[in-house]
Amino acid sequence: MDVKYAQADANYERVTQLVEMAVAAKTDVIVLPEMWNVGYALDKLDVLADKGGIRTKAFLADLARRFHVNIVGGSVATAKESSYYNTSYVFNRDGEICSEYDKVHLFGLMHEDKWITAGTKQNKFALDGILAAGVICYDIRFPEWERTLMSEGAEILFVSAQWPVERIEQWEVMLRARAIENQAFVVAVNRIGEGPAGEHFSGHSLVIDPLGNLLLRVPDDKEGCFNVDLNLASIEKIRGEIPVFSDRKTNLYH
Ligand SMILES: O=C(O)CCC(=O)C(=O)O
């Protein structure tokens, strides 16, 4: 998705169009990018942040219920009490909220930490009975965070991002590593388009299997809806052959 800077109405409308495209392809789970409601309009959050996430929660719940589809709702800028957050909501097919996650690792290079308050909670949920976890953008640089989220049986890691093109090779390498080390599918959605200071986001969304193989690499700068089938049955064999979770020496780690 090309997120329009500081233009909430246009972005909600575009998400509706993209969700309609996705459900036409009989999708089970739809994944959105990071901060899709207003982009990184950090100095305008007093006006633009979604207060209490009320608009986004009603919007995603309605889409999920109406189209009977699970939605990993990327993230949006929210205002909660007297602070701003980079918040992800997950809704199941019945339009019920499964998770609310505030981004934990804030990206100092884009001054996110000056405007946004860091979350303190994990993001784990089940969709159609499948255990999964979610993180946002810079969170992927902290493998101990993904390990924490994935160590109790989660099979899919969802990632939503506004990751700039100049570090897109790092994005791909780290995501493949997160898939291999956690023996899990990684579904990573990155926005396209330009930020307010001329930052370029190339998309390059990825779906990766538990062995690190690419199942999908969306062509750069292409907006749209892209579908992949995940063979979840493969996970049991992979984790059985090389049991990294039970081989951990947690007493030696900090
Ligand atoms: O870690 C990076 O290189 C990019 C992170 C980022 O852009 C973000 O978290 O918003």
Residues 166-223: tens digit of each pLDDT: 999 999 999 999 999 999 999 999 999 999 999 999 999 999 999 999 999 999 999 9
Helix axis angle, 8-24 relative to 54-67, nearest 10°?
20
Q: What number is the ipTM of this complex? A: 0.96
Catalytic residue among 98, 103, 124, 146: 103
Tens digits of per-residue pLDDT, 232-247? 999 999 999 999 999 9
Tell me the mean pLDDT in the region 87-114: 98
Of all protein residues, whose CA lies closest to atom 7 belonging to ligand 1?
163
Tell me the three-class secondary structure of the chain, residue by residue. CECCCCCHHHHHHHHHHHHHHHHHCCCCEEECCCCCCCCCCHHHHHHHCEECCHHHHHHHHHHHHHHCCEEECCCEEEEECCEEEEEEEEECCCCCEEEEEECCCCCHHHCHHHHCCCCCCCCEEEECCEEEEEEEHHHHHCHHHHHHHHCCCCCEEEEEECCEHHHHHHHHHHHHHHHHHHCCEEEEEECEEECCCCCEEECCCEEECCCCCEEEECCCCCCCCCCCCCCCCHHHHHHHHCCCCCCCCHHHCC
Instruction: Give pLDDT, residue 168.
Output: 98
Report in angstroms the alpha-carbon separations of 41 from 110, 173, 252.
11, 28, 42
Specify the residue with its C-alpha closest to ligand 1, atom 2: 138
Instruction: Residue 208: count other Cβ atoms within 10 Å of its Cβ.
Output: 26
Query: 143-150 and 168-182 are packed helices; what angle lies between their axes, rounded to 10 degrees?
Result: 40
Q: Ligand 1 centre from 170 Cα, in Å?
A: 10
171 lines ligand 1 (CB under 6 A): no
CA–CA gap between residue 110 and residue 254 (Å, rounded): 29
Give the per-residue pLDDT at 254: 84
Domains of the chain by range and CATH? 8-245 (3.60.110.10)
Which residue is closest in CA terms to ligand 1's atom 1?
A: 138
Phi, psi of 224 (to 5 degrees): 150, -165
pLDDT in tens, 32-88: 999 999 999 999 999 999 999 999 999 999 999 999 999 999 999 999 999 999 999
Q: Centre a 10 Å sphere on the Cβ of residue 25 and count the other Cβ atoms it contains.
A: 9
- Of 40, 33, 44, the C-alpha closest to 2 is 33
Amino acid, single-letter form, for residue 249: K
Task: Compute, in angstroms, the gap from residue 148 CA to the centroid of ligand 1.
Answer: 20
Distance 107 CA to ligand 1 centre (A): 6
Q: Is 199 a catalytic residue?
A: no
Distance 72 CA to ligand 1 centre (A): 19
34 annotated active-site: yes
Residue 111 CB–ligand 1 contact under 6 Å: no
For the chain, how big is the Rg over CA atoms in Å? 17
> pLDDT tens for residues 17-27?
999 999 999 99
- Answer for the pair 40, 110: CB distance below 8 angstroms, yes or no: yes
Q: Which of 225, 137, 152, 125 is nearest to 188 (CA)?
A: 137
Structure tokens at 14: 């575009």
